[in-house]
Amino acid sequence: MNKPFSAACERNRDPILAVLKQYLDKGALLEIGAGTGQHAVYFAKEFPQLEWVCSDVQENHAGIQAWMQEAKLPNLYGPKTLQIGKDDFPDKKPYQYVYSCNTLHIMSWKENKTLFKLLGKRLREGALVFFYGPFNYEGQYTSQSNKEFDQWLKHTHSHLSAIRNFEDVHTAMNKNGFKLLQDHQMPANNRLLVFERLALIGKV
């Protein structure tokens, strides 16, 4: 099959890479919502010391496989099936990192909260979570283009899709055992939020 292609993935991959280089080391990373598979291939090549495991809903697997088969990277695995609200992590290995790009505004807020709970349940102390995409601050759009994008999401994609409020994401992640390490400003009015899993309290 012809490989699916996202122009946005091509544009944002290098700015995202510059941030990821500040955090990623050896270990295993789970990508949630790999989409076309472009990021998985690009980043797995850039981080050969990482075991990059990509996941998405079943309907996107063929496109991801097309990119992976062409790249033939020894440290890239998947695609695994992961539908938030239905599936658990695809395996029980200890992931040091979770990366998810442009997914929170596609999923419903209920699905967002389910994802945050799953991350809190499955990740160990010190694990890092990266969320890339547009966010509102204090209930306000950061740009006219984000406002127009949000309106498009609600009318075209799903009435449950929407740009998420940073404060809501921050609060929900805190409740599930994470602290915000950094809120990186990115091109095209996007952000890259980095969260760290805190120690479990009351566990022996």
CATH code of residue 161: 3.40.50.150
Kindly report the pTM of this predicted structure. Answer: 0.95
Give every strand in the sheet of 97-101, ordered side by side.
76-81, 50-56, 27-32, 97-101, 128-133, 190-197, 178-186
Any domain includes 202: no
Structural domain total, the chain: 1
- Rounded CA-CA distance 106/129 in Å is 18
Residue 146 falls inside a structural domain = yes
Q: Is residue 67 part of a domain?
A: yes
- The answer to whether position 140 is within a domain reads yes
Q: Which segments of the chain have a pLDDT < 70?
A: 1, 201-204
> What confidence score (pLDDT) does residue 201 get?
64
pLDDT of the residue at 158: 77
Residue 18 domain flag: yes
The CA-atom distances, in angstroms, between 47 and each of 24, 64, 139 are: 8, 18, 36
* Domain boundaries, position 78: 7-197
Q: Is residue 2 part of a domain?
A: no
Q: Evaluate whether residue 141 is within a structural domain.
A: yes
Q: Is 1 within a domain?
A: no
Q: What burial letters (b/e) apply to 171-197, b meaning 16+ CB within 10 Å?
A: ebbeebbbeeeeebebeebbbbbbbbb
Question: Which pLDDT tens digit goes with each residue over 119-155?
Answer: 999 999 999 999 999 999 999 999 999 999 999 999 8
Q: Decide: 66 and 37 in contact? Cβ < 8 Å.
A: yes
